[in-house]
Amino acid sequence: MHDSYRRRLKDLPLAGQSVVIRLTVRRFLCTVANCPRRTFAEPFTRLTAPYARFTSRLGHVLQRVGLALAGRAGARLAGQLGFPVGRMTLLRKVMALPDPQFTTPRVLGVDDFAIRRGQIYSTVLTCGETHRDKPYLERRFAAGCTSVTRLHRELLAENAPVTYKMVRAYIATLRAIPAQASPPPPTVRQVTGWLTRHPTTLSEEERTALKNVLARCPELDSAAEHVRALGEILTNRLGPTLPAWIDAVDTDRLPGLTNFARHLLRDLNAVTAGLTLHWSSGGTEGAVNRIKKIKRQLYGRAGFELLRKLILQ
């Protein structure tokens, strides 16, 4: 051994107290004559990175905080969690993250967003084959798993930041059945749901209630026929038949539905393509909404490089 020096590493807090590791690092002489370096420091790859002032696990937490809240807001949260850091430290952690590795998409969604409205615009590209799934708890509850303990363990295995009380409260809402002395009359939202859902998904009680409602209102009965026809166009991708549907609705002069049909004529080619092709721009629009949320979190003061890093992660 040639020499040694000391390193001071911040670690995750323990029982609400800050933890600092004082590490003695040994330096060794190189016995190879032609080696350009004369000495080597002892590595601690499982504990920290070279020149770092944090342990690897604390650095990972700081990266997650920086990605979620960026500079000042992230620094305030980190201080409350027991590992105070400066806002620039969080931003450096975020900027040091490698960009995700993407494969070439087979279907590409394209849209733009304003970095500075009216002056600077950028383009966002998304994969058209990416879809969102149902929430995990709802999917497992519908599959028959109603044990709070089991669901909580499954979420912890997926590294989900949830507590037992959070899972128990959410499962309680799924189990709740409101007690009613007598069935209330259907609301506008319920009738709208019955009209817009596929008839095969309605229960016997819902079909009976819908039949009673339509019998009381001939205009609503006519609107229901047009809604079902539009549903066939949507589910079976019958885009070329859309103009005929618009003409039929316009002929009946139904309030609300006629205005909706006429507005489709403003961009008929795009609507027809959306009802004919398998792909849509929904995922791309969602990406733009996410970019706007990130910009609002940063109060519009993030440069392009930081904004790009937060978008890609």
CA dihedral defined by 98, 101, 105, 108, rounded to 10 degrees? Answer: -10
Amino acid found at 313: Q
The whole domain housing 149 covers: 134-177
> Are residues 114 and 34 both part of a single domain?
no
Kindly indicate the confidence band of residue 214, based on its pLDDT and cuts at 50, 70 and 90.
confident
User: Can you name the residues that pair with 165 across neighbouring β-strands?
Assistant: none
Over pLDDT 70: what percentage of the chain? 80
Question: Is residue 258 included in any domain, yes or no?
Answer: no
**Which of 2-16, 132-146, 156-170 is most confident?**
2-16
Question: Is residue 63 included in any domain, yes or no?
Answer: yes
Kindly indicate the confidence band of residue 183, based on its pLDDT and cuts at 50, 70 and 90.
low
> Are residues 147 and 88 both part of a single domain?
no
> Are residues 10 and 83 both part of a single domain?
yes
> Are residues 150 and 90 both part of a single domain?
no
> Are residues 87 and 28 both part of a single domain?
yes
Question: Is residue 202 included in any domain, yes or no?
Answer: no
Q: How far apart are CA 110 and CA 287, in angstroms?
A: 10
Question: Is residue 102 included in any domain, yes or no?
Answer: no
> Are residues 87 and 112 both part of a single domain?
no
Q: How far apart are CA 255 and CA 82, in angstroms?
A: 60
> Are residues 90 and 70 both part of a single domain?
yes
- Report the domain count for the chain: 3
Residues 6+ apart with CB under 8 A from 133: 139
Flag whether pLDDT at 135 surpasses 60.
no
CB 223 within 8 A of CB 210: no
> Are residues 112 and 167 both part of a single domain?
no
Q: How far apart are CA 43 and CA 26, in angstroms?
A: 9
Question: Is residue 32 included in any domain, yes or no?
Answer: yes
Which one is predicted more confidently, 111 or 58? 58
Can you tell me whether residue 28 is helix, strand or coil? strand
Question: Is residue 169 included in any domain, yes or no?
Answer: yes
Flag whether pLDDT at 230 surpasses 60.
yes
> Are residues 82 and 23 both part of a single domain?
yes
Amino acid found at 75: A
DSSP H or E stretch at residue 3: strand 3-14
Question: Is residue 33 included in any domain, yes or no?
Answer: yes
Crossing angle of helices 218-236/242-252, nearest 10°? 170
Question: Is residue 229 included in any domain, yes or no?
Answer: no
User: Can you name the residues that pair with 127 across neighbouring β-strands?
Assistant: 108
According to DSSP, residue 140 is labeled H
Tokens linked to 243: 């103009």
Q: How far apart are CA 10 and CA 59, in angstroms?
A: 9
User: Can you name the residues that pair with 112 across neighbouring β-strands?
Assistant: 123
